[in-house]
Each structure stands twice: as structure tokens, then as C-alpha cells.
Amino acid sequence: MAVTYLKRATHTARTDHGDVAAVVSDMLTVLEAEGDEATRRYAQQFDQWDGEIIVAPDHIAAAAGQLSEQDRADIGFAHDNIRRFAEAQLATVGDTQIDVVPGLTAGQRQIPVGSVGAYVPGGRYAHIASALMTITTARVAGARHIMACSPPTAGQGIPPAILYAMDLAGADTILNLGGVQGLAAMAFGQFGGVPADILVGPGNAYVAEAKRQLFGRVGIDMIAGPTDSMVLADDSCDAEVAATDLVSQAEHGPNSPVWLVTTDKALAEAVLDRVPELIEDLPAVNRDAGRAAWRDYGEVILCDTREEVAAKADEVGPEHLQVMARDLDWWLGRLRSYGSLFLGEETTVAMGDKASGPNHVLPTSGSARYTGGLSVHKFLKTVTWQRATAEGMRPVAEATARLSRLEGMEAHARSADIRLERLKVLQG
């Protein structure tokens, strides 16, 4: 048994961002102390935006008219799929109660968070699907108020397609803000908004760091790093398909890791030859990102057995995991660490990124080993309650008093004792 690297990465996803933490800390301090005016200054500094921060209803309505009928239909198709999947997730959770012992009833409730701040990234690409993934899921979960923000384009504001998607998904308030200042505005309830109980959505290193520093004061979905993707394959896999899928994920950015792990050397060699060719055929902005990602972060790994392949996937814990191999049910049952799994050549990460339904906000940088991605569950609080009759309380109080004294917590014991004493009086 052996695992051989035919191409090994020279970098890892855990890139050192230098002084990002200090910059973000300073910005958050200023943003909280100085409020809306500081946010406007940062919007001007980083996005060259000096227009209105809150997007007006007539501007939102106009966005639809700037899209073609097909564009609106495609966004609607993706939205419907995401909504249906979120509704199916919601159906798997609910309120429940049980008689723990006779006379003692305990239960749980699912309570939606009150307010959500959804960050929709901008920059190199127009992340239309991110608006749908975060806002739609929060709306299905039952959040009472959803504020969303996205970086404005100088002189225009949020691009029409993103704005249309944000509105369709159900945002109550939309802000022309990106970066740290956008997250702060939602967390602190600036511009007359409702302070967010939870912040969700992907972003760059500064956005991720701001979420990390705000966590505790507000909830977050996760701290996301660069997107990553792994393809698992045997000799039944088409090399052109595998190479195309790897390139589709490398174009996310220059630090996006991609891996091919396979039991077939001929496939591995064919993919090694083909990926650079496919990258060179991309438009310039995509090509530059793909070149760097493949050069610095791409890996091709050859294994002797499918069990070794699966073990490597579990070790890495990729955000996206594609399987193009025989016996897909075996892989579904065996694999343990991934954000989202794509089984067979008929599905691909790109479909999951855009329109198939399951959420694309997923754990990165190996965190899939211990957590899943964004879902309706992230917007629900599972809380518990209990109620007892006088007789049902007795054995619990007696045990509580003894255990409390065993632990040295006398005041706890006495809070049980007083109930037992009252019960004796009532019973004469």
C-alpha cells in the first residue's frame, strides 16, 4: 500500500495574512465608537462609494428591469431549488417533549434567531448565488429580520443581478457596503437597522477576520478560508471531465487548493497534462487565478486502493468532494469528512455552487473534519424546558441535594431541600 504525490503543493490554504487581525481590530474599534460616519468614510476609502448606504426600494425594483428574462428565470430557478432544500431540512427538526420520570416532563423548542446579517461578497466575480444561499435559508428558518450587504461598484452600487437576488431571497434591508464596515454595520445595527444576532456568508481574509473578532457578541456561521475542492477517481473517470472540474474550482482565486486523488496512474498523468491547457484557454482574470492556484496549491495523488483514496479525503476534509468512480454507494457510506459531496459525473461542484439546492456556504481549510456547512439549523436555537408535579419533583430533588453536597455546592442542595420541605408541609 502506498500514497504517491505526482504533484505536491508548495503552499497551504492556511496563508499568513500578516497584519490583517490588527487592521480589522482597529477598524472595528473605530466603527463601533464613531458609528455611521466612520462606516461612510471606510466605504469611500475602500469601495469609492459616497452614495446612499441603504438601497432604496425604487433602486431595488429597477434592478429587475436591468436583467434579461432568462437571467431572472435562472436566478428564480436557483432560488426555488435552494428554498425547497432548506424547507426539507427544516422538516427534519421540530419541538418534542418526554416524561423523563413520572411527573417530570422535559422538552425542546426550535426558535429562529431574531435578526440575521448576510454578507454577499463582491470583487472578482458577481456572487449572485451567495445572496440566495444565505438569505433564502435564513428566511425559511423563520428569522424575523434579515439585513444584507454587498460591496458597491463605484458610481453604480450593488450590481443589478446581486441586488435582484438579494431582494428575491427575502432581505428586509440591503446596504451598499462591503468588507469590515459592512459586517460592522450589520452587527452594530447601524443606519437605523436591527443589530444582527448572527452574521453569515463568505468573504475575503478581512471579512473572515472580522467575523472571528465579532464572534461571541454575535453568532457566525463559520470562519471561511479560501475555497477548495477534491476529486476522487478510478479508471472509469473521464480525464477531460476531471481536469475541467479541477479548473472550475481553481478559478475561484490564486490560493484555492484543488486535489485529484486516484488509483489510476494513466488518469493522473492525463489530468496533469490537461489542466494547464484548460487554464490557458480561460479569460484573463480567470486564467491568472487558475494558474496561481494550480501552480501553488494543486496536488495529484496516486493511491493503490480506494480505501487509501477515502482515507486521504478524510484526512484533508475538503470543502467540496467529488467522486467519479464505480460503486457510488460505497463512497457515500465510507466518506466522513467533507462540506458537500458530489457523486458521479452527472453532478459537479459548479452546480452546487449555483443552482442545485444544497447550501454552498461550506467549511474550508480542513474544518469539514468537525463541522458541516450553512443550513436552516444554523438559524435555529434548540432550547429546552421542564415542568414537574409535586410528586414528580421529589426523587429529582432528593438526588439533586445529595449530588450537590457531593460536589460541595451547599446552596444548590438547599434549593432542592426547600422544595422537599414545602412538599412535606403540603402533605401534612
Question: What are 378-406's pLDDT values in tens digits?
Answer: 999 999 999 999 999 999 999 999 999 99
**Active-site annotation, residues:** 319-320
Q: How far is CA 5 from CA 300, 317, 350, 417, in A?
A: 6, 18, 26, 67
Q: Using one digit for the tens of pLDDT, what is the confidence trace for 209-225?
A: 999 999 999 999 998 88
**What average pLDDT does range 84-109 have in this prediction?**
97
The residue-averaged pLDDT of 41-59 equals 97
The predicted pLDDT at position 312 comes to 97
pLDDT for position 368: 95
Q: What's the confidence (pLDDT) of residue 11? A: 85
3-state secondary structure of 401: helix
Q: Give whole-number Cα distances, 290 to 153, 188, 287, 338, in Å.
A: 24, 37, 5, 22
3-state DSSP assignment of residue 388: strand
Using DSSP, state whether 173 is helix, strand or coil: strand
For residue 18, name the pLDDT band (cuts at 50, 70, 90): low
Element (H, E) at 417: helix 410-426
- Taking alpha carbons only, the member of 323, 317, 308, 354 closest to residue 336 is 317
Pairing of strands 104-112, 96-101: antiparallel
Cα–Cα dist 185/169, whole Å: 20
Give the domain 3-16+226-372 fold.
Rossmann fold (3.40.50)
For the cut 60, the answer to whether the pLDDT of residue 47 exceeds it is: yes
Residue 1 has a pLDDT of 59
Residue 312 identity? K
Residue 231 pLDDT greater than 90, yes or no: yes
The cell 452574521 sits on which residue? 199
* Backbone φ and ψ of 147, nearest 5°: -105, 140
**pLDDT at position 15 over 80:** no
Residue 17: per-residue pLDDT:
56
Strand locations in 65-212 (E): 96-101, 104-112, 115-119, 145-150, 173-176, 198-200
Distances (CA, A) of 357 to 86, 89, 119, 361: 8, 11, 19, 12
pLDDT in tens, 238-291: 999 999 999 999 999 999 999 999 999 999 999 999 999 999 999 998 999 999
pLDDT higher than 60, residue 16: no
Q: Where are the alpha helices (DSSP H) in 35-114?
A: 36-47, 57-65, 69-90
- CATH 3.40.50.1980 domain range(s) in the chain: 3-16+226-372, 35-104+111-221
Which residue in 302, 277, 297, 273 sits closest to 287, CA to CA?
277
Q: What is the DSSP string of 266-293?
A: HHHHHHHHHHHHHHHTS-HHHHHHHHHH
pLDDT the model gives residue 389:
96
CA nearest neighbour of 230 among 323, 308, 358: 323
Q: Grid coordinates representing 388?
A: 414537574
Give the separation between CA 294 and CA 250, rounded to whole angstroms. Answer: 7
Looking at residue 14, its pLDDT comes to: 57
Homologous superfamily (CATH) for 35-104+111-221 = Nitrogenase molybdenum iron protein domain (3.40.50.1980)
pTM beyond 0.85: the answer is: yes
Q: Give the whole-angstrom CA distance, residue 267 versus residue 261.
A: 10
The percent of residues above 90 in pLDDT, for the chain, comes to 94
C-alpha cell at 162: 446581486
Give the mean pLDDT of 120-139.
93
Contact 145, 198 (CB under 8 A): no
Residue 123 has pLDDT above 90, yes or no: no
* CB of 149 closer than 8 Å to CB of 180: no
Q: Which cell is 159 given?
A: 450590481
> What pLDDT is recorded for position 125?
81
The overall average pLDDT reported for the chain is 96
Task: Flag whether pLDDT at 327 surpasses 60.
Answer: yes
Q: CA-CA distance, 428 to 421, in Å (whole number)?
A: 11
Least confident piece of the model among 272-281, 333-342, 419-428: 419-428
pLDDT surpasses 90 at 12: no
Q: CA–CA separation, 69 vs 73, rounded Å?
A: 6
